[in-house]
Amino acid sequence: MATFVRNRVLNQMVWSAEEERLRVQRRETLCELDGLLTQLEEVNLRGGPIPTRVLVALRRRGVAFRPRTSAAELIEAVFVVQERFMRQPDGLRGTVSTTASELSRRLAS
Protein backbone atom coordinates (compact mmCIF):
# COMPACT_ATOMS: atom_id res chain seq x y z
CA MET A 1 0.00 0.00 0.00
CA ALA A 2 1.49 3.34 -1.04
CA THR A 3 1.47 6.35 1.20
CA PHE A 4 1.52 9.79 -0.33
CA VAL A 5 2.79 12.72 1.64
CA ARG A 6 1.83 16.21 0.58
CA ASN A 7 4.28 18.93 1.48
CA ARG A 8 3.36 22.56 1.28
CA VAL A 9 6.26 24.91 1.48
CA LEU A 10 5.33 28.21 3.03
CA ASN A 11 7.72 31.01 3.84
CA GLN A 12 10.74 29.39 2.24
CA MET A 13 14.07 30.50 3.66
CA VAL A 14 16.09 32.85 1.51
CA TRP A 15 19.75 33.80 1.81
CA SER A 16 21.15 37.05 0.50
CA ALA A 17 23.81 37.05 -2.20
CA GLU A 18 27.42 36.68 -1.12
CA GLU A 19 30.60 37.85 -2.84
CA GLU A 20 32.83 34.99 -3.97
CA ARG A 21 35.87 36.39 -2.11
CA LEU A 22 33.92 36.57 1.18
CA ARG A 23 32.46 33.12 0.59
CA VAL A 24 35.93 31.63 0.12
CA GLN A 25 37.27 33.33 3.28
CA ARG A 26 34.27 32.21 5.32
CA ARG A 27 34.57 28.62 4.13
CA GLU A 28 38.34 28.51 4.74
CA THR A 29 37.81 29.75 8.28
CA LEU A 30 35.09 27.16 8.90
CA CYS A 31 37.34 24.40 7.54
CA GLU A 32 40.19 25.48 9.81
CA LEU A 33 37.85 25.61 12.81
CA ASP A 34 36.60 22.12 11.92
CA GLY A 35 40.17 20.85 11.92
CA LEU A 36 40.85 22.45 15.28
CA LEU A 37 37.61 21.02 16.60
CA THR A 38 38.70 17.53 15.54
CA GLN A 39 42.03 17.97 17.34
CA LEU A 40 40.27 19.21 20.48
CA GLU A 41 37.91 16.24 20.42
CA GLU A 42 40.89 13.87 20.24
CA VAL A 43 42.60 15.66 23.15
CA ASN A 44 39.34 15.50 25.10
CA LEU A 45 39.04 11.75 24.53
CA ARG A 46 42.67 11.05 25.45
CA GLY A 47 42.75 13.49 28.35
CA GLY A 48 46.12 14.96 27.45
CA PRO A 49 47.26 18.56 27.37
CA ILE A 50 46.09 20.84 24.58
CA PRO A 51 48.98 21.49 22.16
CA THR A 52 50.25 25.08 22.09
CA ARG A 53 49.85 25.23 18.29
CA VAL A 54 46.14 24.49 18.69
CA LEU A 55 45.75 27.23 21.32
CA VAL A 56 47.57 29.72 19.09
CA ALA A 57 45.38 28.82 16.11
CA LEU A 58 42.23 29.13 18.23
CA ARG A 59 43.21 32.64 19.37
CA ARG A 60 44.03 33.60 15.78
CA ARG A 61 40.52 32.56 14.73
CA GLY A 62 38.86 34.54 17.51
CA VAL A 63 38.15 31.82 20.05
CA ALA A 64 38.22 33.50 23.46
CA PHE A 65 39.31 31.42 26.45
CA ARG A 66 41.01 31.86 29.79
CA PRO A 67 44.12 30.02 31.03
CA ARG A 68 43.61 26.38 32.00
CA THR A 69 40.43 26.00 29.96
CA SER A 70 39.54 22.37 29.38
CA ALA A 71 39.25 20.79 25.94
CA ALA A 72 35.50 20.39 26.45
CA GLU A 73 35.11 24.12 27.15
CA LEU A 74 37.19 24.96 24.09
CA ILE A 75 34.99 22.73 21.96
CA GLU A 76 31.97 24.77 23.05
CA ALA A 77 33.87 28.00 22.35
CA VAL A 78 34.66 26.79 18.82
CA PHE A 79 30.96 26.16 18.24
CA VAL A 80 30.26 29.76 19.25
CA VAL A 81 32.84 31.13 16.82
CA GLN A 82 31.58 28.86 14.04
CA GLU A 83 28.13 30.41 14.44
CA ARG A 84 29.59 33.78 13.43
CA PHE A 85 30.68 32.32 10.10
CA MET A 86 27.48 30.42 9.36
CA ARG A 87 25.11 32.20 7.02
CA GLN A 88 21.66 32.81 8.36
CA PRO A 89 18.54 33.09 6.24
CA ASP A 90 17.23 36.59 5.73
CA GLY A 91 14.97 37.57 8.64
CA LEU A 92 16.71 35.36 11.26
CA ARG A 93 19.92 37.31 11.81
CA GLY A 94 19.42 38.56 15.41
CA THR A 95 18.24 35.39 17.14
CA VAL A 96 21.29 33.13 16.75
CA SER A 97 23.93 35.79 17.39
CA THR A 98 22.35 36.76 20.72
CA THR A 99 22.55 33.19 21.97
CA ALA A 100 26.09 32.78 20.64
CA SER A 101 27.30 35.99 22.26
CA GLU A 102 25.82 34.97 25.60
CA LEU A 103 27.58 31.59 25.46
CA SER A 104 30.84 33.23 24.38
CA ARG A 105 30.66 35.66 27.29
CA ARG A 106 30.13 32.81 29.77
CA LEU A 107 33.07 30.79 28.41
CA ALA A 108 35.47 33.75 28.38
CA SER A 109 34.77 34.70 31.99
pLDDT at position 23 = 83
pLDDT tier for residue 57 given thresholds of 50, 70 and 90 = very high
Closest CA to 44 of 66, 82, 68, 70: 70
- What confidence tens digit (pLDDT) does each residue in 62-101 have? 998 998 899 999 999 999 999 888 877 666 555 555 555 6
pTM (predicted TM-score): 0.65
**Residues 6 or more apart in contact with residue 88 via CB below 8 angstroms:** 15, 96
Say what angle helices 71-85 and 20-46 make with each other, to 10 degrees. Answer: 170
Identity of residue 99: T
Residue 22: predicted pLDDT: 84
CA distance 49 to 43: 7
- Phi, psi (5° rounding) for residue 88? -110, 145
What is the band of 3 on the pLDDT scale with cuts at 50, 70, 90?
low
pLDDT at position 87 is 73
58 pLDDT band, cuts 50/70/90, is very high
Query: What pLDDT shows up at residue 108?
Result: 62
